[in-house]
Structure 1
Amino acid sequence: MFVPGQRWISTAEPELGLGTVLRVEGRGVQVLFAKAGVLRPYAVDSAPLVRAEFRPGQRVAGKGLAFLVERVEIREELLIYRGEGRELEEGQLDDEQSVSQADDRLIGGRTDPVAHFELRLEGLKRRAAARRSPAWGLGAARIGLVPHQLRVAGIAASRRPPRVLLADEVGLGKTIEAGMIIARQLATGRAARVLLLLPDTLVYQWFVELLRRFNLSFAIYDEERCEALDQSGDGRNPFEDEQLVIADFSFLEQSPKRAQQLLAAPWDLLVVDEAHHLAWSPDVASPRYTLVEKLAEATPGVILLTATPEQLGRSGHFARLRLLDPQRYHDLDVYLSEADAFHNLSKIADRLLDGQALDDAQRATLHDAFAGDEPLLSLLSDTTRPEHARAILAALIDRHGTGRVMFRNRRASIGGFPKRLPVWHLLEAATLGEDGRQALLAEFHADIQQPAPALEIDYGADPRLEALVTLLDAYPQDKFLLICRSQAKVLALEEALRTRTGAGIARFHEGLGIVQRDRNAAYFAQPDGARLLLCSEIGSEGRNFQFAHRLVLWDLPLDPDLLEQRIGRLDRIGQKHDISIHILAVADSAQHVLARWYDEGVDAFRSSPADGRELLRRYGESLAQLAADHARGDDNRDQELEVLLAETRGSHEEMAELIREGRDHLLELAASRDLHADELQQAFTREDHDPTRDAFIQGLLERFGIHAEELGGKVLLLDPQYLSTDALPGFAEGPQAVTFAREVALAREELPLLRLDHPLVLGALDLALSSEQGNAAFLVDDALPPRTALLQAVYLLECVADRKLDAERFLPTQPVVVTVDTRLAERADFRPGDVGLRKAADRSIEVPRYRKFLTKLVPPMLERAEALAAERAQASIAEALAQATDTLDAELSRLIALRDVNPAISEAEIGTVAAERTALLSALPESRLRLDAVRFVVSPDFLALR
């Protein structure tokens, strides 16, 4: 029974300290953990809470008082502690109290197997090490360790808060970078509520990407969901029902009421994809831009994603920057002037990188840029000296205007991409009758609409089908990915192919559940599995099929970004083969015209054009009309098509040159100067090569009745047949195949990558450590000298602080293990002998028989152990303080130095880091010890002596 004012402890998060019941409503209870700055809602029936009750003989503290409890009274459902002539109500207790009962269990003879104690201790050590890592929250993410992505994510995730524009070229993984930032913010407690605002066509892609890659389950909001929440009758804002929310612009535009509710809900992090569609000018802003602007004003963290280069619309680029920092980017003309200046400086940087001498005009430009900085000006006399060039280049990078808010990587500079090889399968128009031509035209019209309308499809007589079968027969050892516009096409193709080929076929479309899609993708990934995977446009979003290198384009989307997304399923960093893009088209059909536009106008089959959207804006309407007219056989069709292709090609070459000329090398180099640039790369390098982690995880899961069976190829099957709890996620569908190998998880996206921060492993570890299991043990150690008894006490050193401070990167909750003997001397070098540990499972010891001497020996030994643990704790705290001071002082010094030369460094950013430093240096010394586990260890003859 919960009553406001009572004190409770979270068994899942004991490090939060004592919580206070604030409110009880219906089946819910709210508990405030004030010291940690955390408010938790719980369901009354399943809350992982235990009452903080202290018994006579225990010490309590609060209101500046501390005494041993002599008796406990109850007044209006609240506990009153009395002792030493003093009194404390439970509501007056300090948030930090020692509440362990491990010693009581040991003295009472209620001990666990020694193996449980060993597992608990190892779990505490591993959790502390993992939590300290910069990769915490990302270890189990199914991501390739791509340096530029890790660099962007590491830098952005360290910002307080992150307000950044991710502007990498298409195919370089902006979604992955954003996902890493989100996951890291959530894992460290810097963010709890995240909103993704997307075009409706990207909703499912993001949902799958975040779930499959980052184990983050977002809730997709639409009108139906909001109405269902409204009907619950509690009057709450429906957007406050979930912490992680995806909403699309179209839904909000159709319902001003929902848009206002969205604005009224509090958010910690806002993510907006395709930000280049947010239209703005100094005179007017689109409704979408206005909505994002209001959200950005009220939300600490903002991530915008765009693949459109700023050279294709500098006013639009300015509009995106002003969403991130409206004080810095307040005037378009000023921004354009600064951009021109940085463009000139970027050209100077290119010459410095190439070791070339600067001309007089460039030296004059640098004199103006470095005015008043005599040490830098002195270097301009000889810029060909490498050390001078490096120093000047570093100074230019530090001064870069958008280097703090914008990240842009280019495919050409990243490298590692395969070649794209278009292979045409042009079919004679004569093979089609009039009905066939009309069917193709109807299919084209359906394909270019958004969304595609329903269409009756029969591919039994389609000449493209025969070409597809021939292609499968020509390469019997290869796998083929075929992507088409809709689910209906996938089903029609499967039906038509059923009797035409013996090749294995798998389906992948939005009509299938996630589990079935995973199974079909796994069937395609197996060496002896399906050779052809039929995918719909939406069904394939967010998937990686780079183990294949042949893509079949049955049809083509009108949007160049969608075409790039199709090719991107195979054309990825790490692809070991060149990509063969097989284009199936009937000559002179509308599809053929569209394919020629992509090939001859945009060059989209051989490269990844950055101007695709702009070309579509200019020529899309004319292209669609001309393709339809061409298919009908209208006069002058060939001449008009050639004109359109020539105009498109000219515009493409012009914009490509504009982008090349406007390339901002300084911006690309800016990330390399950040203090956090290489943190993630180094952390993953350490953690992916832990030789004992996998065995620990298997042992942990076995403790809950989950048996692991080797399936081969670094894949294990986790069988929950004897699962002892319903609290572990991941087994709703029965046995679960998993892997510990990153390369296997990347090749087979249905396989979870198990690390300590995976929800399954983290849930198991939290369950194990929040329970009593393993916190009291009794060991007979054959390696001990005769007549020896030792007490091993495991204390937890915890820093109870606001989670947004992320104090655990410096001082995670960590075990302090102290061993003392019966003479109260420390045995710092004690380690249990292998023989004793091996025999422990077979030794049957009736510990309750020895309660008498345990009652006599344990209390003084434990008191001595606590004193020793306190000394060690102070050393750990001092080390954490030194690390926090050095880290944050270096960051502050860097920011203050940058502020003098870079207007993008705001006083608010410096103030946030300074406040964080002050709060951390105040919180860390307040860290406290809590007894977690004890083990009594005796020599074989000791029991006989008793």
Structure 2
Amino acid sequence: MIIERFSNWREGFTERLEHDGPWDSWTLYKMSYETEKMNLIPDFSGLQAPKLLTNIQLLPHQVEAAQTVIEKMNGKAILADEVGLGKTIEAGLIMKEYMIRGIVKKVLILVPASLQNQWVTELNVRFFIPAIAYRKNTPIEHYDVMVMSMDTAKKSPHREKIYEQNYDMIIIDEAHKLKNHKTQIYEFVQSLKKKFCLLLTATPIQNDVFEIFYLVSLLKPGHLGNYETFQASFSATKNSIDGEKYLKELVNQVMVRNRRQDTGIEWKTRKVHTIPVRFTEEERRVYDMIGELKTVSSIFSSSFTMVTLLKEMCSSKEATYLTLNKMMQKGISNEEKEYIDMIMDKLANLEVNSKAEKVLEIVKNADDKVIIFTEYRATQAFLQWYLHSQGISSVLFNGKFSKSKRDWVRQLFRERDQVLIATESGGEGINLQFCHHVINYDLPWNPMKLEQRIGRVHRLGQEEDVHIYNLAIENTIEQKILDLLESKIDVFEKVVGDLDDILARKA
């Protein structure tokens, strides 16, 4: 195909020159006037982008968030809205506004691999921003707006190619993945030149207060002091009301956080239930035997290994058996081998999974779509078999699925199966507003993982009250996890702000 320059304008221009006009065109004048007016705006009071975005209905809290970031935070901010309120929309609006004003041209967007195509679609269709997804040999120097997987970006040779570019804006989705300053991705992001930078996460604190220190340090080094001064001032904020308020004030200078109840939208209620489960005598006997392993074998002296096994035993014998079998492959004494063999035999003979029976009861009473979250693939497979044996159809979800497979699984769940059984990675990147029952079969140590899970259903478009069932086996490690979750939620609320219910309220 031959591409030629359009030259028809010359004839009309020559004719006007020869006849001294006509030189006026009201349409062209108005277009020129609007262009000049836009370029002559002296400050950032108000946004220009919303009136140009015809493919999206912006909500007031989204426009306000974008305006706050641009006018008060100089384009460096943590967007920390609760799950489902549209942080991606806010980031796209901020980017578009800067582009209209000619301040931003080249943008790098780092996201989990599973969200890469979703970002590209949103930017192109809703914001008319020509973004592309990075692939292995994409010449990044030729494209202005690039969406790239975090895991890809941090590795050679991609990392070096990125360092060679001069980006006007960096956007990082699921930014809580940067909480550990010793990781490769944190060091990579820290090394990027950042004129403007947006960090998107509903959970800026997941375990302790130092996570917010490292996130803020990426945006504005020194805003919270150095590590030593921060540790001295805020590591024990629970004992100082003034310290809590001061830290929250500092964080709020670089963070925008909208809660569902503040948006003016009528949200469905969360109804959280803590469901106690009691082991059978046989299950309890095996659980106690596992607890004694640390006195029998040095392999299990590691608290991590022991905690893992105890959690697995609270999940399923299948998950426990696999871990013990791996341990058997290591160099162990005959005495250790005999004891582990004894546990594995008892596991094999267990006929009841008390927690699975409780799940069956909840699913039957729900009489609607249900999502079950487990932390173990072996448990996931067991639950599908168990529910099938009881006449209940289910589909498995894995965060490593390709986009097309994720969409296919979502469609199967919506149209065919009653239950979706997801591992932890299913807590990100899939929206399931047509379901309103969530069973947390295994409890994570991190309360924000619970929030991510619940956020799959409790978001814009949900038409029913959302029921959350947190299962915990009595007098086991799961009881300790519940207590720890409470204390971590307390830290989050002191620094970031109130959190929607993820655990049942204590009487």
User: TM above 0.5, one fold?
Assistant: yes
Residue matched to 2:49: 134
CA contact under 8 A between 1:423 and 1:580: conserved in structure 2?
no
Alignment equivalent of 1:549, drawn from 436, 452, 459: 436
Match of 1:419 among 254, 264, 270: 270
Contact 1:162/1:303 (<8 A) preserved: yes
Q: Secondary structure at the match of 1:542?
A: coil
Q: CA deviation at 1:246?
A: 1.8
2:50 is paired with a residue of what secondary structure?
Answer: coil
Note the alpha carbon deviations across 1:432-481, whole angstroms, 9 max, x for none.
Answer: 38779879965846999xxx9995999995343333223222232x2211
Which residue of the partner structure matches residue 345 of structure 2?
none
Count of residues paired in the alignment: 405
1:685-764 matches, within 5 Å, as: none
Decide whether aligned partners of structure 1 residues 473 and 291 sit closer, same or farther in structure 2, where only a CA change above 3 A counts: closer
Counterpart for residue 32 of structure 2: none
- The alignment status of 1:305 with 2:200, answered yes or no, reads yes
What SS class does the counterpart of residue 582 from structure 1 fall into?
Answer: strand
255, 261, 265: which one aligns with 2:161: 261
Aligned equivalent of 1:533: 420
Instruction: Give the deviation of 1:563 after TM superposition.
Output: 2.1
Matched, 1:177 2:90: yes
1:602 equivalent among 485, 489, 497: 485
- Letter in structure 2 aligned against 1:52: R
Q: Deviations over 1:172-207 (max 9, x none)?
A: 554453354456667998655432335xxx442x33
Residue ranges of structure 2 left out of the alignment (5+ in a row): 19-46, 126-130, 235-240, 291-305, 326-347, 499-507
The one-letter code matched in structure 2 to 1:593 is I
User: Any idea what SS the aligned residue of 2:360 has?
Assistant: helix
C-alpha separation between the residues in 1 aligned to 2:431 and 2:175?
A: 21
In 1, the alpha carbon distance for the partners of 2:310 and 2:205 equals 33
Distance change (3 Å), C-alpha of 1:303 and 1:548: same
Out of 188, 192, 195, which is 1:295 matched to? 192
Q: Residues 374-420 of structure 1: CA distance to partner in whole angstroms, max 9, x if unpaired? A: xxxxxxxxxxxxxxxxxxxxxxxxxx988875423356655846233
2:347 is aligned with 1:432:
no
Q: Aligned residue for 1:219?
A: 133
CA, structure 1 residues 179+499, in 2 after alignment: closer, same or farther (shift >3 Å)?
Answer: farther
* Amino acid across the alignment from 1:178: A
What's the offset of the Cα at 1:567? 1.8
Do 2:82 and 2:258's aligned partners in 1 also have CA atoms closer than 8 Å? yes
Cα shift at 1:565: 0.8
**Which aligned pairs between 1:193-204 and structure 2 lie closer than 5 A?**
193-197=106-110, 202-204=112-114
| Alignment partner of 1:407 is 2:256 | yes
Q: Does 1:494 align with 2:384?
A: yes
Distance in 2 (CA, whole Å) between partners of 1:504 and 1:446 is: 25
Question: Per-residue CA shift, 1:545-590, capped at 9, x if unaligned?
Answer: 23332111222333332222112223336645443222345444xx
Measured against aligned partners, the alpha-carbon deviations of 1:816-862 in whole angstroms (never above 9, x if no partner) come to: xxxxxxxxxxxxxxxxxxxxxxxxxxxxxxxxxxxxxxxxxxxxxxx
Report Cα offsets for 1:213-267 as digits up to 9, x if no partner.
Answer: 556775356xxx3xxx3xxxxxx9667578423232x656554x54322211232
Q: Check the 8 A contact 1:194/1:268 in 2, yes or no.
A: yes
Deviation at 1:482, TM superposition (A): 1.3
Name the CA shift for 1:599/1:208 in 2 (closer, same or farther; >3 Å): farther
Residue 319 (structure 1) aligned with residue 217 (structure 2) = yes
SS at match of 2:61: helix
Counterpart in the other structure of 1:210: 119
SS of the residue aligned with 1:538? helix
Distance 1:584 1:657, change over 3 A: closer
Question: Which letter does structure 1 place at the counterpart of 2:365?
Answer: A
Residue 424 of structure 1, CA deviation: 0.7
Aligned positions of 1:279-678 closer than 5 A: 291-297=188-194, 300-305=195-200, 307-308=203-204, 312=209, 316=214, 319-322=217-220, 405-410=254-259, 413=262, 416=267, 418-432=269-283, 442=309, 444=311, 462-476=353-367, 478-485=368-375, 489-501=379-391, 503-510=392-399, 512-525=401-414, 529-572=416-459, 575-588=462-475, 592-594=476-478, 596-603=479-486, 611-612=488-489, 652=490, 655=491, 658-659=494-495
Cα–Cα, structure 1 residues 180 and 443, in superposed 2: closer, same or farther, change >3 Å?
farther
**Equivalents in 2 of 1:440, 1:492: separation in Å?**
21
Match of 1:165 among 64, 68, 78: 78
- What CA distance in whole angstroms lies between the structure 1 residues aligned with 2:180 and 2:308? 34
Could you give the per-residue CA deviations for residues 513-552 of structure 1, whole angstroms, max 9, x where no partner exists?
43443344244445xx432222233245222323332111
TM-superposed CA distance for 1:303, in Å, is: 0.9
Residues 152 and 557 of structure 1: is their aligned pair in 2 closer, same or farther, counting only changes over 3 Å? same
Q: Partners of 1:583 and 1:160 in 2: how far apart?
A: 39
AA partner of residue 435 (structure 2): A
Q: How far apart are 1:294 and its partner, in Å?
A: 3.7
2:189 match: secondary structure: helix
Higher strand share: 1
Q: Is 1:52 aligned with 2:38? A: no
8 Å CA contact 1:195–1:269 kept in 2: the answer is yes
Instruction: Report the 3-state secondary structure (helix = DSSP H, G, I; strand = E; otherwise coil) of the residue aligned with 2:272.
Output: strand
- C-alpha root-mean-square deviation of aligned residues, in Å? 5.4
Distance 2:75 2:83 in 1: 22
Q: Which amino acid aligns with 1:602?
A: L
Matches of 2:213 and 2:143, distance apart in 1:
38
Counterparts in 2 of 1:171 and 1:54: CA distance versus 1, 3 Å = closer
AA partner of residue 536 (structure 1): T
Correspondence 1:837-848 to 2 at 5 A: none
Q: Is contact 1:509–1:539 with CA below 8 Å preserved after alignment?
A: yes
- The residue type paired with residue 371 of structure 2 is L
Measure the CA separation in 1 of the matches of 2:263 and 2:167.
34
Alignment correspondent of 2:148: 246
Q: 1:140 to 1:489 in 2, by over 3 A?
A: farther
Distance 2:466 2:280 in 1: 28
Identity of aligned residues (%): 22
Which letter does structure 2 place at the counterpart of 1:197? L
In 1, are the aligned partners of 2:270 and 2:465 still within 8 Å (CA)?
Answer: yes
CA distance in 2, matches of 1:541, 1:155: 27
Runs of 5+ in structure 1 lacking a partner? 1-44, 69-83, 85-131, 230-235, 348-399, 604-608, 613-651, 664-946
Q: Helix, strand or coil: the match of 1:135?
A: helix
1:597 Cα deviation after fit = 3.4
Distance 1:509 1:566, change over 3 A: same
**Bigger helix fraction:** 2
Alpha carbons 1:431, 1:463 under 8 Å: kept? no
Using a 3 Å threshold, how does the CA distance of structure 1 residues 187 and 488 change in structure 2: closer, same or farther?
A: farther
Q: Report what 1:836 is aligned to.
A: none
Q: Which amino acid aligns with 2:199?
A: L
Report if aligned partners of 1:490, 1:509 keep a CA contact under 8 Å in 2: no
The answer to whether the 8 A contact 1:137-1:184 is kept is no
Instruction: Render the CA deviation track for 1:899-923: whole Å, top value 9, x for unaligned.
Output: xxxxxxxxxxxxxxxxxxxxxxxxx
Note closer, same or farther for the CA distance 1:440–1:433 as it changes in structure 2 (3 Å cut): farther
Question: How many angstroms apart in 1 are the aligned matches of 2:422 and 2:355?
Answer: 16
1:417–1:574 Cα contact (<8 Å) kept: no
Quick one: distance in 1 between partners of 2:99 and 2:480? 44
Q: Are the equivalent residues in 1 in contact too, given 2:216–2:224 (CA < 8 A)? A: no
The answer (yes or no) to whether the contact 1:138–1:214 under 8 Å persists in 2 is no
